[in-house]
Structure 1
Amino acid sequence: MTGLYERHLAVSPEWLALYYRDPLELTHGEGRHVWDADGNRYLDFFGGILTTMTAHALPEVTKAVSEQAGRLIHASTLYLNRPMVELAERIAALSGIPDARVFFTTSGTEANDAALLLATAHRASNQILAMRNSYHGRSFSTVSVTGNRSWSTTSLSPLQTLYVHGGVRTRGPYAELSDERFIRACVADLEDLLGHTRGVAALIAEPVQGVGGFTAPPDGLYAAFREVLDRHGILWISDEVQTGWGRTGDHFWGWQAHAASGPPDILTFAKGIGNGMSIGGVVARADVMNCLDANSISTFGGSPVTMAAGLANLSYLLEHDLQGNARRVGGLLIERLRAVGAGSPAVREVRGRGLMIGIELVKPGSDEADPEAAAAVLEAARAGGLLIGKGGGHNTSVLRIAPPLSLTVAEAEKGAEILGEALHAAA
């Protein structure tokens, strides 16, 4: 591994982050497990940043990819593409958006970038509302609406972004309020903010903040926001890059926890739909999607191979009720992790929904984030045979747990046991 690591350093940007003191080379996977170049086997509780959503080496997906690759790998959107149309039809129906149109991209960053383009063009405004502690991608436009300092790599921006309260329930000025009063306070903050602006294009928001540490507002916040937005003609973009496809267990989309408002005007997705293949996309009402007055195409978005993977994976997700599995097994895992956390003074909170779980670590006896402890637990979990992630708006002090949605009860129990040992070892 040392040789490969040195080669990596010689050709890669310094800002390209790697996990672990001794970085890991993964060589193959199966189900919920992966293996490294030294033959070590790990239970995967991060899925390539929530992207291997269903399972590693899922036969239905690998078969679909192989068969399509044997016929045609690439054509671009300049030609009719049957797999792309079929997947778009299914996603449009699942989105809940009336008269929906779908545009495919290759990543979540590109999907959010396209959503911002649509919203600003439709509203003839470059003003965007975003949530504090949010993350929306690494492009110039998506970095400029990211409210997480650790991932906002430049203050230069093509957009004028204003940040709203509400994405983080247990920190900030409204943390001590009840859910009902928390929502009222956040709505009042939004109303006040809009009183100082004019012509805002859209609010972009993750129903559950991913990189921000799997934080979420009380159910109904975005429904309450939507009432305000509608009065001002402001569009709502729901960033479902991490919440989409049933990961939260309770709903297929994260926005459905705020369903009193109806579906968003624009919805973005990526990561899990291709079970590892590069798929992202935007769903929007026809009048919003069709507002551009110049030509556009996508060279790689909607490629026949990735669309074949998406169709096979979506079918598997629905036919095997992996959303229900996320709810059942995720509920068990959260319960086990809360029991583990109760025995550790470093654990401030175990939060989550379905198979999207965060463990926030602090310095014992305080409310101060402890990124060093998070890094130590990450290492200890790896040593125990478990891969997890990190995140959070307070110097990456949150352990991010997001296994493939086919996780079994036995694997959930094993992962919780390893995490308990890792917390003890790191302490």
Structure 2
Amino acid sequence: MTDDLLGRHRAVLPDWLALYYDEPLEITHGEGRHVWDARGNRYLDFFGGILTTMTAHALPEVTKAVTEQAGRIIHSSTLYLNRPMVDLAERIAQLSGIPDARVFFTTSGTEANDTALLFATTYRRSNTVLAMRNSYHGRSFSAVGVTGNRGWSPTALSPLQTLYVHGGVRSRGPFAGLDDYDFVAACVDDLKDLLGHTRPPAALIAEPIQGVGGFTSPPDGLYAAFREVLHERGVLWISDEVQTGWGRTGEHFWGWQAHARSGPPDMLTFAKGIGNGMSIGGVVARAEIMNCLDANSISTFGGTQVTMAAGLANLNYLLEHDLQGNARRVGGLLIERLRAAAAHVPAVREVRGRGLMIGIELTKPGTDEADPAAASAVLEAARAGGLLIGKGGGHDTSALRVAPPLSLNVAEAEEGAAILEDALRSIQ
């Protein structure tokens, strides 16, 4: 950095605004699956701006769409007809799997989840919400109120009454020792017991794979089993697809499809990858739920023309190049490569994930005790080797998060795995 950017950052931005690395990094530009810092160092990017650069850095199709749209009009608000917004909404409604779907665009995943909670509580006339332990849904007042991860929940105050359910973490907690069938059955029994002690909730909000929680997930079918219990009582299911959407898991386009026995959710929320760095979020819901508001509303910046043009170009590229299939193929190779490497590192408790959404949990060897210092050390060592990854986890942030752009090729996956293997070995 040519000036004291870190000092300037600290002087004008909040203390709680986290920065990675002992010497924080200024990223100046990117191309494909690589980025460069202000000193000219080149890195293989396995985190994509927190799973947001979904296809590739500086993807020509997206930059062209943004440039052309910006040359016409950037913004007009939702008070006027907006062709790019309608075009993208039609595509997302069709892809969502939700019947008679309506789409409302926001500027972030936080705002999308906040909006879904507004719809659910209004529709059901209840401010009680079910959420999963170890979950994360955003930083707004209501989203924090349904976040089950202590490290990302800065206040106990909330406009909602939130009740936390078992099941989001397969390998920890009171049911961890059960096989998958019995695990699901125990979690369903816990849910039924909980519902017997409270007024009818508005909704269950759940991430199919918990992002900030360290890429943990339940056995396939858990949320389908939950849905059957909830549907009998009129309780809605909101699938938070901010990190799992758009084919990242490889096997499915949406995370909820791993739990599809009982059909699609009543609502799904999305953000991050659809804009490939542009600020897009949104909610898809059945029309009767979306239309339950009896007052006027708008979105000043949700659905603005330039972001919609970017999202449409990005989605077209993803579908035309079968990036979901690429995530399945290359992600499968990457996770097996990382499991082989981790087998020789006692600090690795588990390598888990799907597609290009992979978590590596670190603990003190021979125990289940989280080791956040080890996670930080691996993060630093990976950077020194030319690889950027993320962190997360519900037990003192001791999980590494690996989530490259979905266009990652086999050679890059091998290169990143080799760097990460060296980084893991360096902590022994």
TM-score clears 0.5 = yes
Deviation for aligned residue 1:128: 0.0
Residue 182 (structure 1) aligned with residue 151 (structure 2): no
Which residue in 2 is equivalent to 1:163?
A: 164
Instruction: Say whether residues 1:102 and 2:103 are aligned partners.
Output: yes
What secondary structure is seen at the aligned counterpart in 2 of 1:74?
coil
Distance in 2, matches of 1:365 and 1:169, equals 19
TM-superposed CA distance for 1:314, in Å, is: 0.2
Q: Who is 1:154 aligned against?
A: 155
**Structure 2: how far apart are the matches of 1:76 and 1:106?**
12
Partner of residue 263, structure 1? 264
The corresponding residue for 1:378 is 379
Which whole-Å deviations, capped at 9, do the CAs of 1:178-221 have from their partners, x for residues lacking one? 00000000000000000001221000000000000000000000
Paired residue for 1:64?
A: 65
- Partner residue, 1:424: 425
| Paired position in structure 2 for 1:124 | 125
5 Å-filtered alignment, 1:232-381, equals 232-381=233-382
Q: Residues of 1 paired with 2:186 and 2:243: CA distance? A: 27
**Paired amino acid for 2:341:** V
Per-residue CA distance 1:321-358 (angstroms, 9 max, x = gap): 00000000000000000001001000000000000000
Q: CA deviation at 1:365?
A: 1.5
Cα distance in 2, alignment partners of residues 97 and 366 from structure 1? 44
Distance in 1 (alpha carbons) for counterparts of 2:333 and 2:113 = 33
> Which residue of the partner structure matches residue 17 of structure 2?
16
SS of residue matched to 1:238: strand
1:54 aligns with: 55
Alignment-derived partner of residue 38 in structure 1: 39
How far did residue 378 of structure 1 move?
Answer: 0.2
2:416 corresponds to which residue? 415
Letter in 2 for 1:241: V
* Distance in 1 of aligned mates of 2:198 and 2:147: 20
CA-to-partner distance for each residue in 1:89-120, whole Å, 9 max, x for gaps?
A: 00000000000000000000000000000000
Q: Distance in 1 between matches of 2:262 and 2:103?
A: 21
**Which ranges in structure 1 are unaligned for 5 or more consecutive residues?**
none
Tell me, in whole angstroms, the C-alpha distance in 2 between the residues paired with 1:256 and 1:317. Answer: 18
| Secondary structure of the corresponding residue to residue 4 of structure 2 | helix
What is the CA–CA distance in structure 1 between the aligned matches of 2:366 and 2:287, rounded to whole Å? 53
The one-letter code of the counterpart of 2:65 is A
Give the aligned residue type for 1:328. R
1:183-202 equivalences under 5 Å are 183-202=184-203
CA distance in 1, matches of 2:26, 2:49: 12
What is the aligned partner in structure 2 of residue 28 from structure 1? 29
SS at match of 2:171: coil
In structure 2, runs of 5+ residues without a counterpart are none
1:290 positional shift:
0.1
| Shift, 1:367, TM fit | 1.1
Q: Which moved more, 1:136-145 or 1:362-371?
A: 362-371
Give the C-alpha shift of residue 366 in structure 1.
1.1
In the alignment, which residue of structure 1 is the partner of 2:74?
73
Distance 1:198 1:144 in 2: 18
Specify the alignment match of 1:399 in structure 2: 400
The residue number in structure 2 matching 1:213 is 214
CA distance in 1, matches of 2:331, 2:262: 27
Q: For residues 260-315 of structure 1, give each alpha carbon's deviation from its aligned partner in whole angstroms, at most 9, with x where no partner exists.
A: 01000010000000101000000000000000000000000000000000000000
Q: How many residues align?
A: 427
Letter in 1 for 2:43: Y
**Amino acid corresponding to residue 213 of structure 1 in structure 2:** G
2:360 maps to a residue whose letter is: I
Q: Distance in 2 between matches of 1:261 and 1:92?
A: 19
Q: Displacement, 1:396?
A: 0.5
Task: Measure the CA separation in 1 of the matches of 2:376 and 2:117.
Answer: 34
Amino acid in the other structure paired with 1:168: V
Residue identity in the other structure for 2:273 = G
- Counterpart-to-counterpart distance in 2, 1:366 and 1:105: 43
Percent of aligned pairs with the same amino acid = 83
TM-score w.r.t. structure 1 length?
1.00
* C-alpha distance in structure 2 between counterparts of 1:366 and 1:98, whole Å: 47
Q: Which runs of 4+ in 1 moved over 3 A?
A: none
Deviations 1:146-196 (A, max 9, x none): 000000110000000000000000000000100000000000000000000
SS at the partner of 1:363?
coil
Describe the superposition over 1:383-423 as per-residue Cα deviations: whole angstroms up to 9, x where unpaired: 00000000000011000000000000000000000001001
**What letter matches 2:366 in structure 1?**
G
